[in-house]
Amino acid sequence: MPGATVEETGREVTNMCGIVGYTGPREAGPVLMDGLRRLEYRGYDSAGIALVTENGDLFVEKRAGKVAVLQDALGADTPRAGVGLGHTRWATHGRPSDLNAHPHSDCTGRISVVHNGIVENFRELRDELAAKGHVLASETDTEVVAHLVEDAYRGDLADAVRAALRRLEGAYALVVMHRDEPDRLVGARLNAPLLVGLGDGESFLASDASALVAYTKRVIFLADGDVADLRPGTATITDIAGKPVDRPIDVIPWSAEAAEKGGYAHFMLKEIHEQPAALRSAMAGRVRGDNVCIEEIDALRDRFINVSRVELIACGTAYYASLVGAQLFQDWLGVPARANVASEFRYSPPPLDARTLVVAVTQSGETADTIAAARLARERGSMVIAVTNTVGSAITREAHASVFLQAGPEVAVAATKTFVTQVVTLVMLAADIAQQLGRRTKAEEDELVRALRALPEAAERAIELAAVTEEMASRYAEAAGFMYIGRAFGYPAALEGALKIKEISYLHAEGYAAGELKHGPISLLDADVPLVAVATRSPVYDKLISNLMEGKARDARVLAVATEGDKQIEQLATDVCWVPDTLDPLSTILAVIPLQLFAYYVAVARGRDVDQPRNLAKSVTVE
C-alpha cells in the first residue's frame, strides 16, 4: 500500500502496512506480536501495539525499525490484556520514526487507531480539528482519524467510527479501540484489504490471512464500505450508515505451517522450491483428460464469440506474466492483444467496449492501479476476468469472473511462485477460450496438454539443475550491473530475471528484447557488466545467439539459460544454467527458475535482507 505526500512540507501517509487486532480470552500481546511477525513482509519500517490492560489503562508501545525492535522494547513486561491492535508500517515518503509509527491516539488518550491507506482531505480535517483545540502530535494523516472518532464519541465506538468515516476521503483499512469498551474492536475498509477472523470465543482483524491462520481459518473478507464491530467470538457487519449487511464466512485453504520457512534459510528460497507443487495446484481440475477447462469462466462463455480485442492489465511481475498471456491470446484467438501497465492504463486507455476482454492480473488482488483499471473497463462495458491468488480480494468484486492461482501463501516480497502460476494460468485461460472458439486444432490442444502435465516435473528438474547458481553467484556478486536479454517468450523471463536481481541484491539490471541490444544498451557492456541471455530452444533461437555474440565481442561475461543438450551454447557462454525442454509458450516458466535462484544467491552473497528488501513491500494498494 504505497504512501503519497499530503502536504508539501513533508507530512506523509502510512501505507503498505500490516494490521492485526484481537479480542478474546487469550493474552492479546503475544497474539498481536505473532501476527506482526507474520505480516512484516507488508512493512518493516516501524511497528507498534496498543492494549487495553486488565486495569483499564491504554498501553501503547511503538518503535521505528523492524518488529524485533518493538519486541526488544516490550521485553517480557507486556501488560495483561484481552484486547489490542497492532501495526507494522512501510513508509514511502518521509523517514520512519517512533512518533510516526502506529498506533495513534486522540487527545484524551482513550482511543487508539491503526490505519493503512491515505486520507486525501487530511489538511482540511487537520485544520478543522486544530481550530477545535485538538493537538496532532505526529506527521501522519492517520492521527486525524483518532481525533475524528474522539469528536464523534457518545458512548458507542461503532457509531463514532462510522461518523468519522463519513468525513474521510481516500482509502483506508483501519481498526479502532476505546479504553472504555475493553472487549471491542471496530474495523473498516475502503480500497484497502481487511478481514475478520472468527474463533471459539475470540475475534480477529487483519490485513492478511497469514496473521490469523494459526488461530482460525474461518474468515470474513470485508467489502468496500463495510464496518465490522467485533466482540469475542462475534462480528456484526454494517455499511457506513449503520445498516446491517451479510457477508459470507470463508475457510482459509492453507495451514499456518504453509506460511513458515520449513527449514529453508529464507521464505524466497522456500517459495522457489515450492514452484513445482504450485504449478500442480494451479492446474488441478483444469487439465482434465485431453482438455484444458477453467470452470470459473463458464458463465461468460456465450460472450467470448464477440471478443474483438484483449487487454491485459497488471503491474510489476504480474505485468511480465501478462506479456506471455498477451502473445498467446493474440496467437491463439487471432485478435489483437496486448499487456498494459495498469498504472498508465486509465490515463491513456484504449477503446473499451462490450467486445473487449480485459484480464486483470494481480497476486494480492488488492493492487490499487489494477483495480482502478479494471473498474474503468467494466464501467465502459468490457468483460473483466481477474487472475489472482487471493480469494475474497477487491479485484474479485470488480470482475465478471475470477480465476485463482491456487499457489498458496507467498511471504517473500519478491514474487516467485506467483509469477509461474500467473503464467500457467494465463496459458490455460487463453487455451480454453481459443479451443471453445474453434481457433486451435485437436493436435495443438493435445500437444499443450502433454506439456502442461509434464511441467511440474520439468520445474523440479530445473531447480535441481540450477544448483550451480550458488557457486556462480559468488563470481558475479560484485558486478557493476547486469544486462538481461531474451526474445519472444524468453523476453518476459529476461525482464523478470532482471527485476529479481534488482529487488533483492540492489544491483542495477536492465531487461531488454535482445534485438534492441545494439540500439543503445550494448554501450553498457564490458568485463564488469555481464550479459544474461535466455537462450532456450525456440523459433528465434538463432537470432538470440547472434545477439549473445554481440555481447561476447564486447568482453562481457555471458551467463546463458539454455535447453539441456544444446552443444552450441556451451561454446559461446561463460556459464550455462540448463533447463529441460518444453513447449515454447511454457519456456518462460522454466527459464525464470535459474534466474530466480541466481538472484537469490547473489543477494545472499552481498549480505542482503532477501525476504524484506529495502524500500519494497508485498502489495501496493494505494495509487
User: Of 199, 223, 253, at which residue does a domain stop?
Assistant: 253
Q: How do beta strands 58-64 and 46-53 pair?
A: antiparallel
Domain that includes residue 543, residue range? 465-605
In a shared domain, residues 495 and 354: no
Residues of the chain above pLDDT 90, percent:
72
Q: Which three cell numbers stand for residue 8?
A: 508539501
In a shared domain, residues 216 and 80: yes
pLDDT, tens only, 177-212: 999 999 999 999 998 889 999 999 999 999 988 889
In a shared domain, residues 249 and 274: no
Q: Calculate mean pLDDT across residues 3-31.
A: 65
Q: How far apart are the first and last CA of the chain?
A: 8
Q: What is the DSSP string of 104-136?
A: EE-TTS-EEEEEEEEETTHHHHHHHHHHTT---
Q: In whole angstroms, give the CA distance from residue 420 to residue 442.
A: 25
305 vs 5, higher pLDDT: 305
14: confidence class by pLDDT, cuts 50, 70, 90: very low
Query: Is the CB of residue 233 less than 8 Å from the CB of residue 24?
Result: yes
The catalytic site residues sit at: 17, 618
In a shared domain, residues 434 and 332: yes
CATH number of the domain that residue 388 is part of:
3.40.50.10490
User: Of 253, 284, 299, at which residue does a domain stop?
Assistant: 253
Q: Calculate mean pLDDT across residues 122-126.
A: 89
Is residue 334 a part of any domain in this protein? yes
Q: 359 pLDDT exceeds 90?
A: yes
- Best CA proximity match to 306, nearest among 248, 392, 382: 382
Is residue 454 a part of any domain in this protein? no
17 vs 489, higher pLDDT: 489
- Best CA proximity match to 595, nearest among 500, 515, 512, 490: 500
Q: Which three cell numbers stand for residue 314?
A: 497488471
In a shared domain, residues 162 and 283: no
In a shared domain, residues 151 and 179: yes
SS (H, E, C) 520-567: CHHHHCECCECEEEEECCCCCHHHHHHHHHHHHCCCCCEEEEEECCCH
Q: In whole angstroms, give the CA distance from residue 209 to residue 216.
A: 9
78: confidence class by pLDDT, cuts 50, 70, 90: confident
**Beta bridge pairs of residue 97:** none
pLDDT, tens only, 410-464: 888 899 999 999 999 999 999 999 999 999 999 999 999 999 999 999 999 999 9
Cis peptide before 103 (omega within 30 of 0): yes
Is residue 8 a part of any domain in this protein? no
In a shared domain, residues 242 and 383: no
Q: In whole angstroms, give the CA distance from residue 527 to residue 534.
A: 19
284 CB-contact burial (10 Å; exposed 0-12 / middle 13-18 / buried 19+) = exposed
Q: 138 pLDDT exceeds 90?
A: no
pLDDT, tens only, 566-595: 999 988 899 999 999 999 999 999 999 999
In a shared domain, residues 491 and 346: no
Residues of the chain above pLDDT 70, percent:
94
pLDDT, tens only, 384-396: 999 999 888 889 9
Is residue 503 a part of any domain in this protein? yes
Is residue 414 a part of any domain in this protein? yes
pLDDT on residue 77: 77
Q: In whole angstroms, give the CA distance from residue 19 to residue 272.
A: 27
pLDDT on residue 66: 85
294 vs 613, higher pLDDT: 294
In a shared domain, residues 304 and 434: yes
In a shared domain, residues 240 and 91: yes
Q: Calculate mean pLDDT across residues 542-548.
A: 87
Q: In whole angstroms, give the CA distance from residue 363 to residue 157.
A: 34
115 vs 259, higher pLDDT: 115
Domain count, the chain: 3
Is residue 262 a part of any domain in this protein? no
Kindly report the average pLDDT of the chain as a whole number: 90
DSSP alpha helix (H) spans, 312-437: 316-333, 342-345, 368-379, 394-398, 417-436
Residue carrying C-alpha cell 529476461: 494
CATH number of the domain that residue 50 is part of:
3.60.20.10
User: Of 253, 285, 304, at which residue does a domain stop?
Assistant: 253
Residue carrying C-alpha cell 547458481: 469
In a shared domain, residues 411 and 475: no
Q: Which residues contact 413 (CB under 8 A, 6 or more apart)?
A: 41, 503, 611, 612, 613, 616, 617, 618
Is residue 261 a part of any domain in this protein? no
Q: Calculate mean pLDDT across residues 481-506.
A: 95
pLDDT on residue 520: 82
171: confidence class by pLDDT, cuts 50, 70, 90: confident
Is residue 348 a part of any domain in this protein? yes
Q: 612 pLDDT exceeds 80?
A: yes
In a shared domain, residues 285 and 144: no
Handedness of CA 503, 504, 505, 511 (dihedral sign): negative
pLDDT on residue 91: 60
